[in-house]
Structure 1
Amino acid sequence: MDIPLLNSSSSSSPTTSTFQALANIIVSVVGTGVLGLPFAFRIAGYAAGSFGVLLVALATYYCMLLLVKCREKLALQGRSKESQTYGDLGYICMGNKGRYLTEFLIFFAQCGGSVAYLVFIGQNLSSVFQSYGIPLSSYIFLIAAVEVVLSWIGSLAALAPFSIFADICNAIAMGIVVKEDIQKAIAGGISFNERTAITSNLRGLPFAGGMAVFCFEGFGMTLALQSSMKDKAAFPKVLGQALVGITIVYILFGFSGYMAYGDDTRDIITLNLPNTWSTKAVQVGLCVGLVFTFPIMLHPINEIVEGKLAQSNWFEKIEDNDDIFSGKRAKVATYISRTLIVLVLAILASFVPGFGVFASLVGSTICALISFVLPAIFHLMLMGSSLCLSQKVLDSSILICGLIFAAYGTYNSLVGI
């Protein structure tokens, strides 16, 4: 999720065309997690991995539409202005506790995604410059120093072009990986018998499932994407088209990567690429793009933290002070806050054992709760009396399965760590 927002950024008069909405959905959903899918297929097997990605895609589509249906229900009641964000739905359903829970989960989802970015950048840079013998943590803190400065930039518009650059690098990297995979498969004459279809290790299935959930991001953007469209009624169709295309690409990408490298598949597939200048350029390009999109990942985190700071007594005293330095002191406090956030995330990233394990942990826990559990709860609470029995059973099943998956996935990932 390269442009995650906590609040809807759409204007009061929607201007997004169907094609633009399609592009925005793809940008919001596809992130760095896709480069870990071949590793997930290695853990689960190519058949189980393919089925898992398809199942997660279907559940994601259904639960995204649940959020839209909840807001449409509120709009019919004349409460559309009260339901602009995911947090608003939490407040309407469960009061302040619901808002705090929703924003708490989004906050930590963004923190998890930010840590994953740092680990991803660190591992790729360590691979490119491995001859220098510099430890992974050094790359992470070196990048953190750059991110501290970039986090002080207040305008997201100034950073948005770099997000597009990162997506282009992702697409190029995927293209090069697939080309290398096909060449390696043809040259080696790999057969299906040499690869695992379904793993005999049951722990591998929830691990791969967590990775798949991590790849289907974008729930924080669902309501904003739908409200930005001129033709809101077309959103389910556009969302379906986007997710069908993304799912096909995910399955083919994970399958081809695993078939090419087998048990040697790394948790970031770019680390399997041959040591050539072209592949190194792709890795560096990915890292550069993500360095400049990292502050966008931080934006919702900074909004929440700075919002809490603004409500504190000491910060109010700074702002209410009449001397000429009060504005500067408030700005310095903001800079210090953003610096500390980056440093804490860098410290956490330096302890992460690997991108794949961490992505699976985030996907199994926070992402699963945001993606499946909360939409099912909100839908049942807002529309429970008007739902037919089959709809209630389906929502309840998603709710229960989401909780079980989150609990067992967390345990499984921690054991792996």
Structure 2
Amino acid sequence: MDYEQQRKAGSSSSSSSSSSSSPCSVPLLESSSKGTASIAQTLGNIIVSVIGTGVLGLPFAFRIAGWLAGLFGVIIVGLCSYYCMLLLVQCRRKLSSEEESMDLKSYGDLGYKCLGRTGRYVAEFLILIAQCGGSVAYLVFIGQNLSSIFKGYGLNLASYIFLLVPIEIGLSWISSLSALSPFSIFANICNLLAMAIVVKQDIQKVVGGEFSFRDRTAITSNIGGLPFAGGMAVFCFEGFGMTLALEASMKDKSSFPKLLATVFTGITLLYASFGFFGYMAYGDQTKDIITLNLPHNWTSIAVQVGLCLGIIFTFPIMVHPINEIVERNLGKGKWFRKLHHNSEYSTTRIGKYAMYMTRAILVVVLAVLASYVPGFGVFVSLVGSTVCALISFVLPATFHLVLFGSSLHFWQRALDICIFSCGLLFAAYGTYNSVVGV
């Protein structure tokens, strides 16, 4: 999600810019306005911004929708996501050309220029909810994997989630989150390892004669399965909070659309292949997190433990923007400012304790919410169908229509209206399906 992706992009840039750079060196996005990032750096940043743990739920989405519907769904979502990212870039370039001193650094800034305060509030609210949803999904993912690894200990998913609370509270108190950014890369490496193991298992089943293509559903007869799977696909492609920062960080900004197209083509093919092979490997037994289908051997356990460790240490990065928004709004109150600061530059001890307390409360609230989530797949589909769909499709189309208006060609205006309308319908129907169950 938005802030986590910024941190991951920063860690990727700092590690690739100099072999002597530490993970705590200044991240790319802190100097994005200078436009110093090379094509190779930006390519890596786009990859780590888009690919996350949601990809491990794609085989389950293919099981729900069917392999043919799943393939078309992933391709369509990938194309729409790429197009809407370009819309954001076009909007920022138009505003920058009209006012050279304008520096649009965030989605909220663009929303403000397009729709005023309402646009900023809506964009930032949706990103905040998306961060909360991603944080809860992290906890559910860890809980389900730990439950799978440590079977027979009498603990349920909620128990494992609450065992993590003290650790996550302590990590949320760390002031320098860039020290944790290498764990984001570590988690992505574990994602790739898990994907490789799934493909390996599929090949073994085919060679061993345990595989029958005719037993796999092409298109589900349950129409509700299509938007459910679509929500999971949208969640996997969600990286819109990073679009403006990534484009602004490039030295050669004119090459960004072509680079984005290349990366999205590769990621879309990767997602489609992985979802297809995962479903082919396990069929109707495919679980909402594909690692739960892996054999209980040391290789699979090592990958699951690695995934959990990586996510445990990147969880504070995910919740940090939530903390910032909460603390910024609390800071608007005079009583809190007096409590927190005794001068312009110094923070009182009571103020520090208040900050620690609010962060601890946030972790506990997220853990409580995660303990009530029925499953990773259902929740990811819900988040993807609601806030991710609105952020990814509805807002970019709206901003583009507002800024360009009558200057758009008929087909461009029609396409924006179509994306806007379909995004709203998808969000409404996808939410209904996720809530009532497929």
Q: Into which bin does the TM-score normalised by the smaller protein fall?
A: over 0.9
- Report the TM-score, using the length of structure 1 for normalisation: 0.97
Aligned to 1:274: 295
Shift of 1:144: 2.0
**Match for residue 161 of structure 2 among 140, 144, 149:** 140
Structure 2 residue 313 is the aligned partner of structure 1 residue 288: no
2:5 corresponds in structure 1 to 4
Q: Distance in 2 between matches of 1:128 and 1:206?
A: 31
1:169 aligns to 2:213 (yes or no): no
Equivalenced residue count is 417
The Cα offsets for residues 284-334 of structure 1, whole Å up to 9 and x where unpaired, read as 000000101111111211121111111112111224546x99621111111
Question: TM-score, length-normalised on structure 2?
Answer: 0.92
Alignment partner of 1:248 out of 246, 258, 269: 269
Asked if the contact 1:8/1:223 (under 8 Å) is kept, the reply is: no
Tell me if 1:83 matches 2:104: yes
Between 125-134 and 3-12, report the one with greater CA deviation.
3-12
Distance 1:133 1:283 in 2: 20
Report how far residue 190 of structure 1 moved. Answer: 2.1
- 2:91 is aligned to 70
Select which of 280, 284, 299 maps to 2:320. 299
Please tell me the root mean square deviation across aligned C-alpha atoms, in Å: 1.9
Contact 1:210 1:360 in 2 (8 A): yes
Percentage identity across paired residues of the two chains: 65
Secondary structure at the counterpart of residue 207 of structure 1: helix
Where does residue 179 of structure 1 map in the other structure? 200
The equivalent of 1:310 in structure 2 is 331
What are the superposed Cα offsets for residues 6-25 of structure 1, whole Å, 9 maximum, x if unpaired?
Answer: 99644432221101101100
Distance verdict in 2 for CA 1:400–1:325, change over 3 Å: closer
Structure 2 CA distance for partners of 1:280 and 1:131, relative to 1, 3 Å: same
SS in 1 for 2:4: coil
SS at match of 2:403: helix
Separation of aligned partners in 2, 1:264 and 1:15: 48
Question: Is 2:355 the counterpart of 1:334?
Answer: yes
Alpha-carbon shift at residue 94 of structure 1 (Å): 1.3
The structural deviation recorded for 1:197 is: 0.2
TM-superposed deviation, 1:142: 1.1
Residue 347, structure 1, aligned to residue 347, structure 2: no
Give the gaps of 5 or more residues in structure 2. Answer: 8-27
* Correspondences of 1:360-399 after superposition (within 5 Å): 360-399=381-420
Q: Distance in 1 between matches of 2:31 and 2:159?
A: 39
Report how far residue 5 of structure 1 moved: 4.3
- 1:211-239 CA deviation, whole Å, 9 max, x = no partner? 00010021111101111111111111111
What secondary structure, in the 3-state scheme, does the structure 2 residue paired with 1:131 have? coil
The aligned amino acid for 1:192 is: F
SS at the partner of 2:117? helix
Q: Deviations over 1:21-55 (max 9, x none)?
A: 01100100011110000000000000000000000
Find the aligned partners of 1:176 and 1:162 in 2 and give their Cα distance.
Answer: 21
Q: Which range moved further: 76-85 or 206-215?
A: 76-85
Query: Please, which of 37, 45, 48 is the counterpart of residue 66 of structure 2?
Result: 45
**Partner Cα distance (1:197, 1:80) in 2:** 53
Match of residue 15 from structure 2 = none
Alignment of 1:210-221 (within 5 A): 210-221=231-242
**Runs (5+) with no aligned partner, structure 1:** none
Aligned to 1:158: 179
Deviation string, structure 1 residues 150-205 (Cα, Å, up to 9, x no partner) = 01112121111111111111111111111112112321352321110000100000
Distance 1:374 1:263 in 2: 36
Change (3 A) 1:169 1:305: same
Paired residue secondary structure (1:145): helix
Counterpart residue type for residue 150 of structure 1: L
AA partner of residue 309 (structure 2): V
